[in-house]
Amino acid sequence: MTDQGTIWLTQEAYDKLRAELEDLKGPKRQEIIEKISAARDEGDLKENGGYHAAKDEQGKQEARIRQLEDMLRRAEVGETPPNDGVVEPGMVVEIQFDGDDETEKFLLGARENLTEGDDLTVYSPQSAMGSSINGKSKGDTVAYTAPNGKEIKVKIVDAVPYQA
């Protein structure tokens, strides 16, 4: 998510992220340290591709650790919302833009709630559209101001809980 607000996660998604963090901070971190050490023992570091690759991998891993720690610190863990047609985090929302015949479906919440391989678009509840439709019901039409300053109207066609 682009802002520093709360991230809504299911318990399953929270547990998955927590497990990934523990793995990265434990066994994976130790693996990288061993790779760096073994590559360092090979000699000249200037021309040692294995050393530089391991250091690069270490940097990416440490960045992911910081990202996970930040997400988990800001996480609000909740149950799957009820199937009552009211838009809230954890719902797959179908909307129709004013003047358009087609609809668009997306998850209102955090990308981390999606199961692997699910390519559903995700909108943050803190986004312009997300905050305007949050709490509204199926059939409601809502207007919001897009980041470019344009006013956009959307009709909520459906809102159902996300099923992994």
Domain ranges of the chain: 7-78, 91-161
pLDDT of amino acid 164? 67
- Rounded Cα distance, 31 and 37, in Å: 10
CATH 3.10.50.30 fits 91-161, yes or no: yes
pLDDT of amino acid 109? 86
Question: Is there a shared CATH topology between the 7-78 domain and the 91-161 domain?
Answer: no
Give the rounded distance of the alpha carbon of 49 from its chain centre: 33
Ranges in the chain, pLDDT < 50: 1-3
Query: DSSP secondary-structure letter at 28?
Result: I
- Comparing C-alpha atoms, which of 90, 105, 110, 98 is closest to residue 142? 98
pLDDT of amino acid 48? 78
CATH 1.10.287.180 fits 7-78, yes or no: yes
pLDDT of amino acid 113? 76
Distance in Å from the first CA to the final CA of the chain = 20
Tokens of 23: 């793995």
